[in-house]
Amino acid sequence: MNAREEFKRVNPAFVERYDEIDGSDEFYEYLGRPLRQSVRVNTLKGDYDDIVSLLQEKYRLEPINWCKEGFFIDAAEDEEGSEDTTTIGNTIEHQLGLIFSQEAASMLPPVILAPEPGELILDMAASPGAKTTQIAQYMENKGCVVANDVKWERINILISNIQRCGAANVVVTIRDGRSFKRFNSKFDRVLLDAPCSNVGMIRKNFKYLKIWNEREVYSLSRLQKGLIMAAYTALKPGGVLVYSTCTLEPEENEEVVDYLLSNTNARLEEIDLPLRSTRPLLEWRGKRYDGEVKKCLRIHPQDNDCEAFFVAKVVKDEGED
C-alpha cells in the first residue's frame, strides 16, 4: 500500500481535498514520514560556538539553511558503532536551556519577524514558547515580549520554557487574542502563529490525520480572520506582522491574508530565504484572492523535508492608525 492509499484508508475526505491542493505521490510520501529531529541553539544561555562545539561531541549536526541557530540533529556513533537514542528533550543540554527542541519550519516566523533589542513585541498565541524564546533571543533580552495564550492549561508549559531558556524580557498574559484590538498601534511587531488544523503535525502524529475534518477548517478560518485583524490593529504604523500556520488549508492561509488585505491598507513583503517553497494559491474553489498573496511562503513537506507551513509578512500602512 502506497502513502496515498494509506491516507485514504485513514481519512478519505482528507485525500479527496488534498488531491486538489497538491495530490502528488511525493506529497503523501513525505507527509507520512517521521520528522527529522531539529534543535535551536539558545544564545541567551551560552556562547553560540561553545554550544555548537558541545553538541558536535555527541551528535551529527546539519545546519538549517534559513536559521543560523538551527540544526537538524542525529546521534553520533560511539566507538562500538552504537547510537545514543536518548530523546533530545531529555538531554542535559535541553534541560539547561542551551538548546530548544524545535521543528525546523517553526523557526521561520521569528526569523522573518526580525525583532530588534528594545522593541515591544506581541506573540499572540505563544504556547509552548519555542517562538517566544527565539524572539527573546534575537532581542538579547532587551525590550519586552508579551507572550499570550488563551488556554490556562497551556500556560504552565509556556512559563516553564521561558524560564528554562533564560528569556527574562517576557511577560505572560492569558486572554483571547482578539481582545488585543483594544491596544491600538502599541506594538512594534506582532507574531500571530495562529491556532490551525495542524496538517503539518501529521508527520509528528497520525492522530492529526484521523481527527481532521473540513468543518473545523471553516471554523478556524473565522477565528483566524478575527485574530489577524486584532493583530494588525495592535501594530504600530510601519510595524511588521508575521502570520503563520502549520497547515496547508487555503481557507486558513491565503484566504485569511486576503481578508486582511481587503479590509485594511496592509501590504505584503516578499520573504527571501534560502529554502524551497510551493506557489501560493490565488484561486480556490471559485474564490479569487488578491494577487499580492503570491508573496506569502507556502511550504509543502516535500519542499524541504520538514513540517508543512505557511508564512506571510505584513507591514502596516504608515498612515493607518
Residue 85 confidence (pLDDT) above 80: no
CATH number assigned to the domain comprising residue 52 = 3.30.70.1170
| Environment class of 185 (CB within 10 Å of its CB; exposed 0-12, middle 13-18, buried 19+) | middle
Measured over the CA atoms of residue 245, residue 206, residue 304 and residue 56, the dihedral's sign is: positive
Write down the pLDDT at residue 81.
43
Range with the lowest mean pLDDT among 216-225, 272-281, 311-320? 311-320
Answer whether residue 12 is part of any domain.
no
Residue 2 confidence (pLDDT) above 80: yes
Write down the pLDDT at residue 86.
62
Shared domain for 122 and 209, answered yes or no, is yes
At CA 207, angle to CA 204 and CA 208, rounded to 5?
75
Write down the pLDDT at residue 193.
98
Shared domain for 96 and 109, answered yes or no, is no
Q: What is the pLDDT of residues 231-271, one digit of tens each?
A: 999 999 999 999 999 999 999 999 999 999 999 999 999 99
Shared domain for 214 and 266, answered yes or no, is yes
Shared domain for 186 and 283, answered yes or no, is yes
First CA to last CA across the chain, in angstroms?
A: 56
Shared domain for 49 and 195, answered yes or no, is no
Shared domain for 169 and 262, answered yes or no, is yes
Write down the pLDDT at residue 76.
61
* Short-list 279, 284, 222, CA closest to 252: 222
Answer yes or no: 306 catalytic.
no
Shared domain for 151 and 216, answered yes or no, is yes
Cβ neighbors of 103 (< 8 A, separation 6 or more) are 35, 38, 306, 307
Answer whether residue 15 is part of any domain.
no
Phi–psi pair at 258, nearest 5 degrees: -60, -40
Domain count, the chain: 2
Answer whether residue 252 is part of any domain.
yes
Measured over the CA atoms of residue 104, residue 171, residue 112 and residue 279, the dihedral's sign is: positive
Residue 3 confidence (pLDDT) above 90: yes
Ramachandran sector of residue 305 (left: φ over 0; alpha: ψ -120 to 50; beta: rest): left
Answer whether residue 51 is part of any domain.
yes
Residue range 36-58: mean pLDDT, rounded: 96
Shared domain for 151 and 283, answered yes or no, is yes
Write down the pLDDT at residue 110.
98
Q: Residue 186 corresponds to which cell in the numbers above? A: 502599541
Average pLDDT, the chain: 95
Shared domain for 258 and 128, answered yes or no, is yes
Pick the catalytic residue: 196, 246, 296, 306?
A: 246
Write down the pLDDT at residue 1.
74
**Cα dihedral value 208, 202, 101, 225, nearest 10:** -70
Shared domain for 84 and 71, answered yes or no, is yes
Write down the pLDDT at residue 225.
98
Question: Of 81, 101, 121, which residue constitutes the final position of a domain?
Answer: 101
Answer whether residue 74 is part of any domain.
yes
Q: What is the pLDDT of residues 7-35, one digit of tens each?
A: 999 999 999 999 999 999 999 999 999 99
Write down the pLDDT at residue 160.
97
Shared domain for 83 and 139, answered yes or no, is no
CB contact at 8 A, 251 and 281: no
CATH number assigned to the domain comprising residue 238 = 3.40.50.150
Whether residue 128 is preceded by a cis peptide bond, meaning omega within 30 degrees of 0, is yes
Residue range 68-95: mean pLDDT, rounded: 74
Q: What is the pLDDT of residues 134-189, one digit of tens each?
A: 999 999 999 999 999 999 999 999 999 999 999 999 999 999 999 999 999 999 99
Measured over the CA atoms of residue 113, residue 116, residue 121 and residue 123, the dihedral's sign is: positive
Question: Of 79, 101, 123, which residue constitutes the final position of a domain?
Answer: 101
Residue range 42-57: mean pLDDT, rounded: 97
The residue range of the domain holding 129 is 105-315
Residue 87 confidence (pLDDT) above 90: no
Shared domain for 84 and 177, answered yes or no, is no
Write down the pLDDT at residue 79.
44
Helix ranges restricted to H, 96-205: 108-113, 130-138, 155-164
Phi–psi pair at 3, nearest 5 degrees: -60, -40
Task: Give the number of residues written for the chain.
Answer: 321
Question: Of 101, 118, 135, which residue constitutes the final position of a domain?
Answer: 101
Write down the pLDDT at residue 84.
52
